[in-house]
Amino acid sequence: MSSSEIPKTINGLKIILGMAGIGDPSSPSCRFPNVEATKELLIAFARRGYRDLDTARNYPPGKPETCEPMMGEALESLQKDADVVKGVPFIIDTKLRFAPPNKHSKEMVEKSIDGSLKALKMEKLHVEYLHGYDETSPIPETCKAMDKAYKEGKFEKFGISNASADVLEQFFETCEAEGLEVKPQVYQGDYSVLSRDCEGKLLDTCRKHGMPYYAYSPAGGGLMNSKAYRERQGGRFDNSNRLGQIYRNQHYKDHLIEAAEKVRELASANGLSGHVLALRWAVWHSKLSEKHGDGIILGASSIEQLNANLDAIESGPLPDTIVHAIEDIWSAAKAKGQQKPQL
């Protein structure tokens, strides 16, 4: 890739590498525990033609604020030494520290953004997200703090993650009422073959305001793996750690587990894994589109898995018969889910 080229897309979608597995090795999510391992991951991603990275002050789960410094050291070294990335900088998105009290107060917004810039060794971020909705901080205060940082040149785009459509509208209304220069410009949320809550009001709201949707957990947060793998110690659904509890609450429901088994059976019958099928569906058959500037955030526990994930999504769309079968499975799961009480 020459310096005149831009990161490639697949089916028009931006491909973004999630960095939650980088940082302090005592984190249950950590897979890349030092600068050298991080550099190898970034080089592997860059060699495939991609540059977009997604991180957060909270990464990795359980050991926050240890991912960004490691990334900063790796990125600084790569920009100086590695021919594979020289002249084509990585594009860095991050998220505010999301921790009580007053997660999105004026002071916390400023402290978090400045902390990210220092840790990542950058002068300006691409997207700065609110990592979630903080009910303890007034929306006007948060919006004004983000507007101030934007005017100071600290980030290019204001992002919001994990907020409802109604909350998103409140942010737009507030920015408009306060006459602020910057408004929410990018949304990041969960979206996969068996997690489609965003397809209604939330996506409609994003489209209304011209916001790209960047989808994380496109393979269902590991739901497509076998039961033994899903429930292994230290795994995505390990109930002994906070991250595992979050993913269990989000994905580990009877009707979704049943549907995931059917998706895995469908995939196996067609020579695929459930994981690969889910990734290909997200890129080629979901409601994400080039028209809206949407993107997919991929995770990877190893360089081998990174390359396998990229191979999967680069291999093209699924056959129509598989797509139709997936929709039948989803329709049945959705109906069962609506019959269950919300706990």
Query: Which residues are catalytic, by number?
Result: 59
Angle at 279 between CA 28 and CA 88, to 5 degrees: 80
Residue 204 in 3-state DSSP?
Answer: helix
Q: Give the residue among 160, 141, 37, 53 at the shortest CA–CA distance from 98.
A: 160
**Distance of alpha carbon 38 from alpha carbon 235, whole angstroms:** 20
Distance of alpha carbon 280 from alpha carbon 169, whole angstroms:
31
123 and 155 in contact (C-beta within 8 Å)?
no
Cβ-contact 48, 84 below 8 angstroms: no
- Asked if residue 288 lies in contact with residue 296, where contact means CB atoms within 8 angstroms, the answer is yes
| 3-class secondary structure, 69 | helix
Whether the upstream peptide bond of residue 60 has omega within 30° of 0, thus cis, is yes
CA dihedral 177, 181, 186, 189 (to 10 degrees): -40
Radius of gyration of the chain (CA): 20
Torsion on CA atoms 60, 147, 121, 188, rounded to nearest 10:
40
